[in-house]
Amino acid sequence: MTDGTGQSRSKTRRRIQPRLRRALLGTLVVILSLSAGASWVGHQGWQARHHLTTAADLARELGRQLLDGDVTQARHTLAALQRQAREARAATTDPGWWLSTHLPYAGDNLAAVHGIAVAVDDLSRRVFPSILRLDLAAVLPRSGGFDVAALRSAEPTLTAADTAMREIRQRFDAVPSTALWSSVATAVRQLRGELDRLAVLTATARRAAVLLPPLLGADGARTYLLASQNPAELRATGGMLGAYAVIRADRGRVELVTQGAASELRYFDRPVLPLDPDMQTLYTDLLGVFPADVNLTPHFPTAAVLYREMYRRRTGVTVDGVLATDPVVLSYLLQAIGPVRVPGHATLVADTAVRTLLSDTYQKLGFKAQDDYFAASAMAVFDAMIKRPVDPRALLAALDRAITERRILFWSARPDEQRHLLDTRLAGVLPEQEKVPTVGVFLNDGSGAKLGYYLARDARLTVGNCRPDGRRELHLRLTLSSTVPRSGLSKSVLGLGMAGDPYTVRTLVYVFSPAGGLLHDARLDGVQALLGSGRERGRQVGVVSVDLRPGQTRVLEVGLFSAVTRTGAAELWLTPGATPWTTHISSAPSCSQ
């Protein structure tokens, strides 16, 4: 490596603003500030307060330095932060403090303060230094490829950080959380939430260091089927699988081998693989015979396995995995890499890419030209991302947003790799067991048209009462609105018009109960609704068809029960669309409170 290259890499490292660092340090400021305001008693309590208040200021400064790329100064600040955290821990560890933790009323509060100080000290010594040593720019492509050796060299550091993070989190779980002074209770609750989130981040980073080198061909060439989902015609995982490409990765070099349209795979007379009976009841044989329908189910591994087999039968090529994405992801990437010129077509720009690809294209181009444009657009953005010099901060942010919204999904044909992915959003796995009740709202187009681009969606989930049997009541309110114009759409957009009126959007709504839960009531526009019923992966599923005329809004309300649970939290899992959902979750106290 030349001196010039070394200087370039140094500058890249100075510019990087890794999300992991921001999350670890930026969010900690709020927690430390809350804990510093607790009403502690005695000289040692005031000492702990002083040290944690100073630590909060240092954490704030450390976050700013990392955002500015000043890693050298950040190391000095971290050293000061470690001193203050160490002193705070010492102030809450002496025999007098330990004896005080056994006093009535104040004891649990002092034990909780000690737990906060220990967690902050452990973070400053065992997690933050590992993050500061990382060069996360190594995970990004350079000159058409990835440095798989650099990725592998990061694994020990990331493994150490993740191991420490899991130990810190487990230890903090033992900190008292009830019958505390309000300020201490708030600090404990929020720090516990932050530790949970940070543990997910360090686990993800460690998993990436383990998986990316082999996935990128470090141990032999790999091929992947890249499937582009089209949210203009909704399917449960995001959209109908339209254009596809085959990508080859060999020793970090990535190239696009071939492209095509799902229609080229045609349909099959019978399912290409045996179907799960529950899924067959919900979706009929469509999953296994039509390439465009493999993802009627929200469980991505099922869709990926079927799509891979369909591709193998038509081409004789067996790929090593399936990667799904959509045009909204392209718009996020364009924010990082800048406008991309598509030969023979208009330049793709971040602000208009979704409209261009999911609306204008169907209005202006014929069927064959649409497929060609989608393929050319994907290739142009792919080449730009691999070959252009890109701001690492922006690219990492774009990818993180896409994965968080479940717009990037991946399945590996190798069981050992797939096991590493199972508990990540990237895997798109519909879990059969869960810690927090999750309600799924998945949408499948029933119009045979490209009207999903005009569908606005709002989901609100309210956690209700605790039942005597240990279950929790939940209430879902789903609002769907149509922004379809009353005239002027092309035949490509209007498609088959299966709702009768070609401008009416027909959407099949699948409401999934929490794992082990139940649905008990449904109303559409205030009127009792008859739900089609089935089960998938341990969840009860209700199905209702909702027709929307241009400008119409309709409301579906569903009552649900969770499995036996103590938590007052809940989550939503939603089909990604052409535009963002509006969502709101109203949690409740735990059933033990």
Q: Given this model, what pLDDT does residue 95 score?
A: 78
Is the pLDDT at 177 greater than 80, yes or no?
no
pLDDT on residue 488: 96
Q: Which residues contact 588 (CB under 8 A, 6 or more apart)?
A: 463, 464, 568
Report the pLDDT value the prediction gives residue 28, as an integer from 0 to 100: 45
- The verdict on domain 222-416 having CATH code 1.10.3470 is no
Sequence-distant (≥ 6) Cβ neighbours of residue 388 within 8 angstroms: 337, 338
What does the pLDDT average to over 449-465?
97
When mean pLDDT is compared over 65-74, 134-143, 231-240, the highest value belongs to 231-240
pLDDT in tens, 131-142: 777 765 666 777
Q: Give, as one character, the DSSP assignment of residue 360.
A: I
CA distance 121 to 128: 10
Encode pLDDT of 352-396 as tens digits.
999 999 999 999 887 778 877 887 888 888 888 888 887 776 887
CB-side exposure of 6: number of CA atoms within 13 Å?
Answer: 3
**Mean pLDDT in the chain?**
86
- Reported as a pLDDT band with limits 50, 70 and 90, residue 12 is very low
Give mean pLDDT, residues 446-461.
Answer: 97
Structure confidence at residue 263 (pLDDT): 86
In the chain, where are the structural domains located? 3-213, 222-416, 432-586
pLDDT beyond 70 at 30: no
Tell which wins on pLDDT, 414 or 173: 414
Q: How far apart, in whole angstroms, are the C-alpha atoms of residue 123 and residue 128?
A: 6
Q: What DSSP character marks residue 326? A: -
According to CATH, the topology of domain 432-586 is Immunoglobulin-like (2.60.40)
| pLDDT (tens digit per residue) in 272-326 | 999 999 999 999 999 999 999 999 999 999 999 999 999 999 999 999 999 999 9
Q: What is residue 144's three-state secondary structure? A: coil
**Of 243, 240, 210, 211, which is closest to residue 225 (Cα–Cα)?**
243
CA distance 572 to 583: 9
86: helix, strand or coil: helix
Judge whether 57 and 29 are in contact, CB under 8 Å. Answer: no
For tokens 């809450």, what's the residue?
92
pLDDT of residue 66: 64
3-state secondary structure of 73: helix
Q: 3-class secondary structure for 425-450?
A: HHHCCCCCCCCCCEEEEEEEECCCCC
Q: How big, in percent rounded to 5, are the helix, strand and coil portions of the chain?
A: 50, 20, 30
pLDDT for residue 19 is more than 80: no
What pLDDT shows up at residue 301?
98
Looking at residue 64, its pLDDT comes to 67
Burial pattern 451-479, b for ≥16 Cβ within 10 A else e, equals bbbbbbbebbbebbebeeeebbbbbbebe
Q: Is pLDDT at 197 greater than 90 in this prediction?
A: no
Interatomic CA distance for residues 423 and 412, integer angstroms: 14
C-alpha 283/C-alpha 231 separation (Å) is 19
